[in-house]
Amino acid sequence: MKIGLTYDLRSEYLSLGYTEEETAEFDNTETLRGIEIALHALGYETERIGNSRSLMMRLLEGNRWDLVFNICEGLYGDGRESLVPAILDDWQIPYVFSGAATMALTLNKALCKRVVRDAGIPTPDFCLVNSEDDLLQNKPPFPLFLKPSMEGSGKGVSEFSLVTTEEEYRRVCLHLLKQFNQPVLVESYLPGREFTAGICGNGPDARVIGVMEVVFKQEISAIYSYENKQNYKTVVEYRPADRDMESKCSRLALQVWEVTGSKDAGRVDMKLTIEGEPEFMEMNPLAGLNYKDSDLPILARMHGMDFRQLIDTIMQSAIKRIFCNPAQTVLIENEQYSCYPA
């Protein structure tokens, strides 16, 4: 099976003058090579495609693949994570991970929270600040947590994100509006512990492969900010959740997975209320896949699944979803692939 790889390589964007923070969601060569090595070990042939523009050029040149392993984040607009899935849908080329609608929904944190809340899943109260005029609208009571509504990897999150006064609220909102040119998500601050759940599979086969707690080594650093994520080895410690919390977080994560239409693999982030109950924070359908440093491979490894097994589980989930009916096999370029639950 010939697998095309779509990705945004961080070094390429840095060489064009983009900053470290602007490219925070993009992947390095080590990540790409790790995925390739795992796929080769599983018997797949791979071909590097590159970013969305490279994909468009390759398609127009007549290139095709049996399946595309897509980790493109995109750079501009509120549909940037949807671009590659939408292009591949138009050319009827199947791909791994979620489709364009899910990517657009989950990138927009406020829209995603509205869908999740409508499904009866608990999430912190919130409002959206689109401009300076919105600073006068009703909002949840302090303390509040502020962040850009359409960024990942902790971009725009800092020690100043937690605000307790009107002066702080106004100052941080105006700063984020100017810096990121997008609405600011204003949430009730949850003071409890922080967890992330990794999910693989689709429909009835979807399962939580592990729940991991993010524990800050010093209370003064207890915001999972852009800076802390970049320096996680010195700032945080990752621990497997205890049985009771794993059960609670897994149940919530699978509900979010279903209602957002997520596919193949991803992560659900949550925090605890003061009563110790988990509430939904963010959905990440394009979880990082650096075999050493990304949360999903770390929590998978913590629960007995090495990186090759993780990639195999993701691939089998995609193959079953795309090509197979139950108890069927699929023939692709004269190679047989068994269709079995991931």
| Least confident range of 9-13, 33-37, 215-219, 294-298 | 215-219
For the stretch 207-221, pLDDT in tens is: 999 999 999 887 655
For the stretch 249-296, pLDDT in tens is: 999 999 999 999 999 999 999 999 999 999 999 999 999 999 999 999
For the stretch 48-83, pLDDT in tens is: 999 999 999 999 999 999 999 999 999 888 999 999
CA dist 206 and 208 (Å) reads: 7
pLDDT band at 21 (very low <50, low <70, confident <90, very high): confident
Mean pLDDT, the chain, rounded, equals 92
What domains, with CATH codes, occur in the chain? 2-98 (3.40.50.20), 125-188 (3.30.1490.20), 194-322 (3.30.470.20)
| Least confident range of 7-16, 177-186, 198-207, 211-220 | 211-220
CA dist 275 and 289 (Å) reads: 33
CA proximity to 278, closest of 194, 214, 208: 194
Percent of the chain whose predicted confidence (pLDDT) is above 90: 82
CA dist 29 and 27 (Å) reads: 7
For the stretch 236-250, pLDDT in tens is: 899 999 999 999 999
95-112 per-residue burial string, b: 16 or more CB within 10 A, e: under 16: bbbbbbebbbbbbbbbbb
pTM listed for this prediction: 0.91
